[in-house]
């Protein structure tokens, strides 16, 4: 069971006193889940990315703090929270693998990584290396990173799925310029997952890509939900609107994330953080009421 006490302890560290009672109410709500369309398996709507934040020395002092980040994710989101990494994220796979082993937590999370190379042999080497770094023979999701050699690598990933190396296959990108190509691939290749960018200021995916994912039964992970942190600089001098409480939000981070998971095509959002208190804050967006279309517009209008 996700620990309400741990979430609240961390929320106390980031929230002003006036918002704490609202955070207490939010933490009382159960974790929200969405199904993976191809199987019905349920995922919590808030998971975690590891780009930059988990790229640290696996023997270094930051490991203790990142262990706490991961512990909070596991305690706060419950079973199957998505942890997304990649071979191209420096030490992130090694750090993720070491911490999951230390916590004995591999089986409780939904572990996603990527292939980011051309050609079959290089891709197989990368997958074997990911298995070693992550200390996990079986991966939950392997994605073709940034549309590199997509059709060939998707075919390879389907073979690996047959062999039980991965349970799902996916494709990723992080810019709106790639979304027409992603839409074509969703329609033609029907991967299990697409991972793309969406935020209060980047709504391009809502035009064609997210409806295509819904129509073809493709699960959606959302990256760069905070535009790599830039959204927090935009609200530095702004007060959170009072109506954020109508969807149980007590921070800008929660409002940004609920804007995303309020879209019905979205399965899970994967914000990255190096701080336990920010992890706890983000996890509160995985509970309580979600915005409808009108409320999502109201949120986005704050940034136009």
What residues pair up with 221 in beta bridges, in sequence order?
A: 195, 268
Residue of 122, 174, 208, 216 that binds ligand NAP (CB under 6 A):
174
Q: Which stretch binds ligand NAP (CB under 6 A): 94-102, 122-130, 202-210, 275-283?
A: 275-283
Q: Which is nearer to ligand NAP, 93 or 281 (CB)?
A: 281
Are 32 and 290 in contact, with CB atoms under 8 Å apart?
Answer: yes
Q: Pick out residues in 21-80 that bind ligand NAP (CB under 6 A).
A: 49-53
CB of 52 to ligand NAP, least distance (A): 6
Does the protein bind ligand NAP through residue 255 (CB under 6 A)?
no
Residue of 4, 71, 227, 298 that binds ligand NAP (CB under 6 A):
227
Residue of 60, 164, 229, 264 that binds ligand NAP (CB under 6 A):
229
CB of 57 to ligand NAP, least distance (A): 16
Q: Which stretch binds ligand NAP (CB under 6 A): 31-39, 127-135, 227-235, 288-296?
A: 227-235
Does the protein bind ligand NAP through residue 232 (CB under 6 A)?
yes
Q: For binding to ligand NAP (CB under 6 A), which residues are involved?
A: 49-53, 84, 145-146, 172-174, 195, 223-229, 232, 253, 270-275, 278, 281-282
């Amino acid at each position: 069971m996700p620990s309400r006490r741990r979430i609240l302890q961390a929320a106390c560290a980031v929230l002003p006193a006036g918002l704490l009672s609202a955070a207490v109410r939010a933490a009382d709500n159960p974790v929200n889940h969405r199904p993976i369309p191809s199987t019905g398996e349920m995922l919590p709507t808030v998971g975690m990315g590891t780009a930059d934040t988990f790229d640290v020395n696996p023997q270094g002092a930051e490991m203790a703090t990142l262990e706490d980040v991961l512990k909070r994710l596991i305690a706060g989101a419950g079973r199957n929270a998505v942890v997304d990494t990649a071979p191209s994220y420096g030490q992130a796979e090694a750090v993720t693998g070491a911490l999951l082993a230390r916590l004995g937590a591999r089986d409780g999370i939904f572990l996603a990584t990527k292939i980011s190379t051309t050609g079959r042999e290089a891709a197989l080497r990368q997958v074997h290396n990911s298995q070693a770094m992550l200390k996990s023979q079986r991966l939950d999701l392997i994605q073709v990173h940034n549309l590199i050699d997509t059709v060939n690598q998707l075919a390879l990933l389907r073979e690996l799925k047959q062999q039980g190396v991965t349970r799902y296959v996916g494709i990723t990108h992080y810019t709106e310029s790639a979304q027409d190509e992603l839409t074509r691939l969703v329609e033609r290749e029907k991967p299990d997952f697409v991972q793309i960018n969406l935020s209060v200021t980047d709504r391009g995916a809502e035009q064609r890509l997210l409806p295509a994912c819904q129509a073809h039964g493709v699960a959606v992970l959302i990256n760069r939900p905070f535009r790599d942190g830039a959204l927090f600089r935009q609200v530095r001098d702004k007060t959170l609107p009072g109506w954020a409480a109508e969807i149980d939000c007590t921070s800008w981070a929660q409002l940004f994330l609920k804007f995303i998971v309020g879209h019905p095509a979205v399965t899970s959002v994967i914000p990255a953080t190096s701080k336990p208190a920010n992890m706890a804050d983000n996890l509160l967006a995985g509970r309580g009421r979600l915005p409808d279309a009108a409320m999502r517009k109201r949120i986005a209008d704050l940034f136009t």
